[in-house]
Amino acid sequence: MREMFEVTSRTEVRRLPARAIYDRAAAHAILDEAFVCHIAFVGDDGHPVAIPTNFARDGERLLIHGSPASRMLRTLGAATPLCATVTLVDGLVLAKSAFHHSVNYRCVVAFGTATAITDLDDKRRALDVIVEHIVPGRSADARAASDKELKATLVLALPLEEVSVKVRTGGPLDDEVDLALPAWTGVVDIETRYGAPPDAPDYARFYQRPGRTARPSP
Amino acid sequence: MREMFEVTSRTEVRRLPARAIYDRAAAHAILDEAFVCHIAFVGDDGHPVAIPTNFARDGERLLIHGSPASRMLRTLGAATPLCATVTLVDGLVLAKSAFHHSVNYRCVVAFGTATAITDLDDKRRALDVIVEHIVPGRSADARAASDKELKATLVLALPLEEVSVKVRTGGPLDDEVDLALPAWTGVVDIETRYGAPPDAPDYARFYQRPGRTARPSP
C-alpha cells in the first residue's frame, strides 16, 4: 500500500482533479529532483510575498536555511503560515487550437508552519542534508560549518503533512472538430543540463539531478 | 537614462542589497526569458498560497490566464493583492566552505493587484501575446480562440509598478582563511534545452527563449 497524504480543503485540487495526486512517493520524487522552491507567506504589511529559495527534503520534512537577518526566515521562524511550492516544467504542449495549448509540469504544494532547528548537532546535520540535496557528493569536500557559522545560519523545517501534487504529461488534447487543421501538434521537450569545467570533481562535472534519467534527443 | 522602478518598502531589498536592481530593462529581460511565474496570494481561509502559472509580458504589464473555474484566477480577478515572482536559476556556486555555497539566479518580484481584461478584442490580443511569449511563432499556426473559447478564458493583467529584481552572478566568495583548502571551487552551469521532433516547424524544433544566447559548453 502506498502512503498517501490526507486531503484537506486546502490541498483538494478542484480544478482538473484528474491531474491531482496525493501520494507521498510522487511528492518525494519531485522534491528530490528539484532544489528551488517558492515560499508564499504574508508579510508584516499584510501583503502576500513569494520568494524563491533552496531547499532539501529530509524524510518527511522540507528544510530551508539562510541568514537570521533575512526577513523571510525570521517571519517564517515565528510560525507564520506558509506555502512551499516546487515546480518542474517538462514540456510545452502545442495543440491545434490556441485554447488547448498546455504545459507538462510536475508540482508539489505544501502548506504548514516551519520550526527553527536550534540544537547545533541537528543543525549541522540539516546543513549537510541541504548541501547533499543540492550537490550530491559535495558535503565530503566542502569545509563543514564552524560553530560560529552554524549560529549565523537559521535552519527551518516544514513537516510534509498538508501536501498536494499536480502533474500533467502527454500530448495535446484537441477538440475533434480541430483535428483536420494543418498545424503541427506535439510537445517541445524541456530539459535542464548541467556542466562544470574538466578540472571539477565528477559530482560537479557530471552533475545530474537524482532520479532524472536523460531523455533521448529528439 | 534608464527607466527605473520606484523603490517602496515592499520592494526594497534589505538583505544583500548589492544584488538588487530596480531597472525596468533588467526586469523585462528576465520576464521575457521566462514563461512560468509563481503567484502568491491569500486564499479564502487566510492561508497564503503559491501557485505556478504561465505568463507573458505585454509592455509594462504581466498577463496571466486560465479558466474562470480556477479559484486562483477568480480570487485574483477580485483585486486581491498578489505577488508574482519569476525565477531563473543559472548556476550552483561551489565554495571552499559549505557556508559560502550559493546559487546564481535572476529573480523578479512584482507586487500589485490584477484586473480582468473584459473587452473581447483586447482579450483576443492578450491571448495572442501569451501564445507568442511562450512559443514565438506559434500564434500564426494555431487556431485562434473562438468567441466561445474567449468567454471561457479569464485573462488578468498585473501592471509592472512595484517591482524588484535580484541577481547573483559569478564565482564563490570564500573567506581568505579558507582559500588554501583543497576543495575544488567554481560554478556548475545550469542550462535549459528544448527539443521537438524533426517534423516540427522551426519555431518548435529550434525553440529557444528570446534573449538567451547559448553558453559555450564547459
CA distances from B32 to A99, A111, A206, B56 (A): 21, 30, 30, 8
**CB-count burial class (<10 Å; 0-12, 13-18, 19+) for A173:** exposed
Arithmetic mean of pLDDT, B149-177:
96
What's the grid cell of residue B160? 509592472
Is B142 close to A95, i.e. CB distance below 8 A?
yes
Of A15, A51, A142, the CB nearest to B98: A142
Is A97 close to B142, i.e. CB distance below 8 A?
yes
What is the per-residue pLDDT for B216? 41
Residues of B in contact with A45 (CB under 8 A): 9-10
Is A189 close to B186, i.e. CB distance below 8 A?
no
Rounded to 5°, angle at Cα B104 from B100 and B105: 135
Is B218 close to A207, i.e. CB distance below 8 A?
no
Is B85 close to A38, i.e. CB distance below 8 A?
yes
What's the grid cell of residue B65? 490566464
What is the per-residue pLDDT for B21? 83
d(C-alpha B50, C-alpha A165), whole Å: 13
Q: Within 10 A of A82 (CB to CB), how many other CB atoms are there? A: 25
d(C-alpha A91, C-alpha A103), whole Å: 6
Is A83 close to B49, i.e. CB distance below 8 A?
yes
A151-209 tens-digit pLDDT: 999 999 999 999 999 999 999 999 999 999 999 999 999 999 999 999 999 999 999 99
Minimum CA–CA partner of A202 in chain B: B184
Q: What is the DSSP letter of A23?
A: B
Q: Within 10 A of B121 (CB to CB), how many other CB atoms are there? A: 9
Of B39, B105, B131, the CB nearest to A98: B131
Arithmetic mean of pLDDT, A71-78:
93
CATH superfamily of A17-170+195-205: Electron Transport, Fmn-binding Protein; Chain A (2.30.110.10)
Is B49 close to A69, i.e. CB distance below 8 A?
no
Summary mean pLDDT of chain B: 93
What's the grid cell of residue B152? 471561457
What is the per-residue pLDDT for B2? 65
B167-185 tens-digit pLDDT: 999 999 999 999 999 999 9
pLDDT higher than threshold 50 for residue B1: no
Is B142 close to A198, i.e. CB distance below 8 A?
no
CATH superfamily of B17-172+180-205: Electron Transport, Fmn-binding Protein; Chain A (2.30.110.10)
Is B218 close to A201, i.e. CB distance below 8 A?
no
Of A14, A67, A192, the CB nearest to B190: A192
Instruction: Residue B3: name the closest of B20, B26, B19 by CA.
Output: B26
Q: What is the DSSP letter of B216?
A: P
d(C-alpha A84, C-alpha A39), whole Å: 5
ipTM: 0.94
Q: Is B100 left (phi over 0), alpha (psi -120 to 50) or beta?
A: alpha
Of A135, A144, A153, the CB nearest to B92: A135
Minimum CA–CA partner of A204 in chain B: B188
Pairing of strands B61-66, B56-58: antiparallel
B44-53 tens-digit pLDDT: 889 999 999 9
d(C-alpha A46, C-alpha A40), whole Å: 12
Interface test with B, best of A89, A99, A131, A138 (most B CBs within 10 A): A99
The residues spanned by each domain of chain B are 17-172+180-205
Is B196 close to A186, i.e. CB distance below 8 A?
yes
Q: Which helix (H) or strand (E) holds B167?
A: strand B162-168
> For residue B39, what are the contacts with CB-CB under 8 A and spacing of at least 6?
A50, B50, B51, B52, B53, B64, B72, B76, B82, B83, B84, B85
What is the per-residue pLDDT for B217? 40
Summary mean pLDDT of chain A: 93
What is the per-residue pLDDT for A218? 36
CA distance A202 to chain B (A): 11
Helix (H, G, I), strand (E, B) or coil at A46: coil
A212 versus A132: which is more confidently predicted? A132
Interface test with A, best of B188, B193, B207 (most A CBs within 10 A): B188
